[in-house]
Each structure stands twice: as C-alpha cells, then as structure tokens.
C-alpha cells in the first residue's frame, strides 16, 4: 500500500507506461483533455483554411459573369465540399475542442469522464476528411450534389464518389456522438462539490444541451446517408418514385437532422458570448436562469421546424402554417438571449478588448442573420426568397459572423490561459477590423442580388448581377486573406511573447468563471510530468 501512495505522491511509477510519451507519440496516445482540445482546434483551423480556399475558388469563378476559371461540374464539387468541410470539419470540431479544453476546468473536473474514447473520437476525424477530400481526386471528381445531397442528385445522378462521401459522413457522425456522450457524462458526474445545476457556467450549459441534440440527430443523418447508399448501390428505392419511393421524403429526413444541426452550430457560440460579455462589462450576466431556459427551449423547438426548408415542395397549407408559426416562435428565446447580452452591457464598465469586440460584432451581426431568418420563415415570402442568394446571405450571417466569430472571440479570450502568453494586440486588432469590414462586403450585398432573383449554387449568372458579384468576390478574398493574420497571431502566441498575468483580464475579478461557484481545483497549470 505504501508503494502505491508513494507512486501517487511522486508521480513516478515503476512501470514504463506511466512515463509520458514525447513528441508525436504524446499527441497520438494522449488522454489529456487539454491536448485533445488543442488537437481539435488545430484540426478545425486547418479545415477552415481548406474550406476557405474552396470558397475562394467559388468567388473567383463568380467575379465576372461567363464561365472562365473552372468547369461547372468542378464548381459544383467546390460548393458541396466547401459546405461539408465548414460544417463538419471547421465549426463542429472547433466547438468540440473548446468543450474539451474548458468544460472540465469550468466544472472543476480532473479531466473528461471517458479519456480514451476522447482520444479515439478525435483521431478518426482526420481520416474522415482525408476520405472526403480524396474523393475529389476520383475519375469522375468529388461529390457535386450540394452539402444537403438531395436525392436524386446524390443517388441517380451521382458517380462512385457517393460511397466515399457516405463513409466519411458516417465516421464524422461516430466522432460527434462519442464526443457528445463524453460531454454529458463529464458534466453529470464530475462537477465539483457545491456546483449545482443552476451554478454551471453558461458555456457548460449550452454544451450540455448541444450534446443531447447531437445524440438525437446524428443517427438521423446516418440513416439518410445509408438510404442514399442503398438506393445507389443495392437497388432499393427509398427516394426513387419509379420504385415506390419519394424524393421529398429525403428532404424530410435530411432536414429533421439539418435543422437541429444548425442549432448545434450556434448554441455553444451563445455560451462563449455569455462568458465574454460579463467579463468585459464587469457585471454578472443579466438573467442567468432565463438564459438556461431559453437555450433549452431553442433546442426543443429546433425539432419541430424542419420543413421551413421545404415550403416550395407543395406541402398542405396546414403544414405550411404550422411550420411558419413554429419557426417564428423559435425567434422568441433567441431574442431573450440578445436582450440579456445587451442588458449585461447596459451601464457596465466596458473595456473593448479583442474578445469583447468579436462578441459585440457577434451580437449585432448574428441578430441581423436572425432577422433575415424571420423573413425566410414567412411562407409566402419564402416562395420568393427560396434558393436565391438571400438564403446564402442569411445562413452565412448566422454561421460566419455567428459561429465563426464566436469561436474567434473564445480563442482570443482563452489563448493567454492556454499558452501562458499574451497574443500580439496590434495584429489581433488588424485581424478583427479587416474581418469585420470584409465579411460585410462579402455577405451583405448577397441580400440584394438574392431579392433581385439571383439563384444560388450556379457557376454563371445574368449580366445585371455583375457589379454586385465583383464586390462580393473582393470582400471574399479580403476576408479569406484576413484569416491568415489569425493564423499568425495564434502561431506567435503559442511560440512565446509577453507572459500573461495570473488574472488575464484584470478588473474582471471574480467574473472569469462568470458565476459565483467554487474555484475549480483543476487549474490551467501544465501537470509536472508533461513539462
């Protein structure tokens, strides 16, 4: 017995496997939630740049009317893989990385509850995206049926890359489900003594709810891709009218996954913003309980609005009315959140550090995306907007100035804690202002061309849209290039720089964890055996 106590006290065991691995092996075998969080974040940044390069191809082609740079079929591959990579490769793994890093520390847990599974759920991801990207090199090219892979485009009219696409999506889904199980078990079982449910930091709450959404809808996506696979290769006809199937049923199944999915990509963002705004307002978050209930209502309502993506498929008027009202209802809890963030800042002692600037940009621009979503919810109006660039403008305001800006806000907020160094403030300011200006030059004019009738997902367009598209493309290149500054900031910060103080955001004393809860004993210090 004394031996065991001795081992625990010194951290030196008599067995080889207790000695930490070095170099590549450390990262391959790691069960440390911070290492795994870092792996997710690095992976998602890589995917963000690859997906961004594809967006650049799209915008370069659309810079002028006429077909100039790429073959239309390749253009379709770019729009498809750009969407898949940004959703499943950039946004979701970034939030999972933030959850891995922050959730255990926020609840005072020594690590995630299931560390080996944590390692595995990360390491299968690079292979999923390797498979997806490799499909682009196939003889017929990669998937070209849009990230929503509607049948019959993905079944009757696709080539053999469909099989690789389905396999890649299955692996991503397995990874997401395991990550979600891990988050739930960790939060339910490993909270510090005295940390009751209504004392959880909001980032933890939003992730708990997100994890339940993931477990509920990822199997639906798995079902959809499996039916696509059997329709294509095993002569079933789930979605083939000739064999008694229904292509519209595909849309129902896909969007039953797809709508909760868009909330999976925004709820953790709400948690990040609810952490940052109180810190730099030097005030407690306004309406903590209402934030928790609003998050839960958004999650529940997200399951009954899916067919608002399908108003033009010819559903009964009663169905259109139901989905219209349900969709408008979901904007109420979202409005509660925006009100609470603004009320937190109201008469606060605000300082405009980079995380706060991204958070304020998030609140304004995400709300704008919410308003265009409300417009799309109105059935008769949606008949005009559907499948135009207005929809592209709407969901990019939600996902770029929403999800992506919140990830950047979180990265700037926690980088000093992660690395022990302060980031370069000047470069970060350049990154913020260039991103803010260019993202609006990129996406705002899309509302106009959309309302004027320009369809989405096309490699060419009518001449009257030429000027706006040139502006949009310039904004796109500027936004894409601005992100290289972010890479530089993160790289420099990880390498060294001015040492971060113990309380990074001074004056935000006591609010760093945002609720009055016992300080987690699990600090940001690197455990001695890794140093």
For residue 252, indicate whether it is catalytic. no
For residue 154, indicate whether it is catalytic. no
The catalytic position among 44, 334, 419, 482 is 334
The catalytic position among 135, 176, 344, 438 is 176
For residue 505, indicate whether it is catalytic. no
What CA–CA distance (Å, rounded) separates 214 from 88? 12
What CA–CA distance (Å, rounded) separates 183 from 95? 12
For residue 308, indicate whether it is catalytic. yes
C-alpha separations of 431 from 51, 227, 398, 423, 439 in Å: 19, 44, 20, 12, 12
The catalytic position among 80, 96, 158, 274 is 274
For residue 334, indicate whether it is catalytic. yes
The catalytic position among 27, 29, 147, 430 is 147
Tokens 């809808």 sit on residue:
217
Q: Which residues have CB under 8 Å from 322's CB, separation 6+?
A: none
What CA–CA distance (Å, rounded) separates 123 from 492? 26
The catalytic position among 59, 170, 283, 309 is 309
The catalytic position among 35, 261, 320, 514 is 261
For residue 19, indicate whether it is catalytic. no
- Two structure tokens written together for 27: 């990262």
For residue 456, indicate whether it is catalytic. yes
The catalytic position among 40, 101, 205, 263 is 263
The catalytic position among 33, 59, 82, 283 is 82
For residue 349, indicate whether it is catalytic. no
The catalytic position among 191, 337, 394, 396 is 337
The catalytic position among 417, 429, 456, 457 is 456
The catalytic position among 259, 283, 394, 522 is 259
For residue 309, indicate whether it is catalytic. yes
For residue 263, indicate whether it is catalytic. yes
Q: Is 201 helix (H, G, I), strand (E, B) or coil?
A: coil
Closest CA to 260 of 228, 292, 308, 197: 308
Each residue of 58-95: b (16+ CB within 10 Å) or e?
bbbbbbeeeeeebeeebbbbbbbbbbbbbbbbbbbbbb
For residue 337, indicate whether it is catalytic. yes
**Which residues lie across from 455 on neighbouring strands?**
388
User: DSSP states of 414-461 as a string?
Assistant: HHHHHHSB---HHHHHHHHHHHHHHHHHHHHHHHHHHHTTPBSS-S--
The catalytic position among 34, 308, 396, 522 is 308
Q: Is 499 helix (H, G, I), strand (E, B) or coil?
A: strand
Is the peptide bond preceding residue 493 cis, with omega within 30 degrees of 0?
Answer: no
The catalytic position among 35, 61, 111, 382 is 111
Task: Identify the helix (H) or strand (E) that includes residue 52.
Answer: helix 33-61
For residue 176, indicate whether it is catalytic. yes
Burial class (CB in 10 A: 0-12, 13-18, 19+), 282: middle
Q: Which residues are catalytic?
A: 82, 111, 147, 175-176, 259, 261, 263, 274, 308-309, 334, 337, 456
């Amino acid at each position: 017995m004394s031996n065991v106590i001795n081992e625990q006290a010194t951290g030196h065991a008599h067995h080889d496997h207790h000695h930490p691995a070095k170099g590549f092996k450390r990262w391959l075998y790691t069960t440390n939630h911070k290492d795994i969080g870092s792996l997710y974040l690095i992976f998602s940044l890589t995917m963000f740049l690859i997906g961004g390069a594809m967006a650049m191809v799209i915008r370069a082609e659309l810079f002028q009317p006429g077909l100039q740079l790429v073959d239309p079929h390749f253009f379709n591959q770019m729009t498809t893989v750009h969407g898949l990579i940004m959703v499943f490769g950039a946004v979701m793994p970034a939030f999972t990385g933030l959850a891995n890093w922050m959730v255990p520390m926020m609840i005072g847990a020594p690590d995630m509850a299931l560390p080996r599974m944590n390692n595995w759920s990360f390491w299968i991801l690079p292979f999923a995206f390797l498979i997806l990207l490799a499909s682009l090199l196939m003889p017929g090219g990669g998937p070209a049926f849009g990230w929503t892979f509607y049948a019959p485009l993905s079944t009757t009219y696709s080539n053999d890359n469909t099989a690789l696409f389905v396999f890649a999506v299955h692996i991503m889904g397995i990874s997401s489900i395991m990550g979600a199980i891990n988050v739930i078990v960790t939060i339910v079982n490993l909270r510090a003594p005295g940390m009751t449910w209504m004392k959880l930091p909001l980032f933890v709450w939003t992730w708990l709810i997100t994890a339940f959404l993931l477990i509920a809808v990822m199997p639906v996506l798995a079902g959809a891709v499996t039916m696509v696979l059997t329709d294509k290769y095993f002569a079933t006809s789930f979605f083939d009218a000739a064999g008694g199937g229904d292509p519209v049923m595909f849309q129902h199944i896909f969007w039953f996954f797809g709508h909760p999915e868009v909330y999976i990509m925004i709820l953790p963002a709400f948690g990040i913003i609810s952490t940052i705004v109180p810190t730099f307002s030097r005030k407690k978050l306004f309406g903590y309980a209402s934030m928790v209930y609003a998050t839960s209502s958004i999650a529940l309502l997200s399951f009954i609005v899916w067919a608002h993506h399908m108003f033009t498929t010819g559903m009964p008027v009663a169905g259109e009315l139901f989905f219209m009202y349900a969709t408008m209802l979901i904007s109420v809890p979202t409005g509660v959140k925006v009100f609470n963030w603004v009320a937190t800042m109201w008469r606060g002692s605000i300082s405009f550090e980079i995380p706060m600037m991204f958070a304020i940009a998030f609140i304004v621009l995400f709300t704008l995306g919410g308003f265009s979503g409300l417009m799309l919810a109105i059935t008769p109006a949606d008949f005009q907007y559907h499948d135009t660039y207005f929809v592209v403008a709407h969901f990019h305001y939600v996902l770029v100035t929403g999800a992506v800006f919140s990830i950047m806000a979180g990265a700037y907020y926690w980088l000093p804690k992660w690395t022990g160094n302060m980031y370069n403030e000047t470069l970060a300011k350049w990154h913020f202002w260039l991103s803010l200006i260019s993202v609006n030059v990129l996406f705002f004019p899309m509302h106009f061309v959309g309302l004027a009738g320009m369809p989405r997902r096309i490699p060419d367009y009518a001449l009257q849209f030429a000027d706006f598209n040139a502006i949009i493309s310039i904004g796109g290149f500027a936004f894409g290039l601005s992100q290289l500054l972010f890479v530089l900031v993160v790289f420099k910060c990880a390498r060294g720089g001015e040492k971060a103080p113990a309380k990074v955001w001074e004056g935000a004393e006591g609010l760093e964890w945002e609720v009055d809860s016992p300080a987690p004993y699990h600090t940001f210090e690197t455990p001695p055996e890794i140093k």
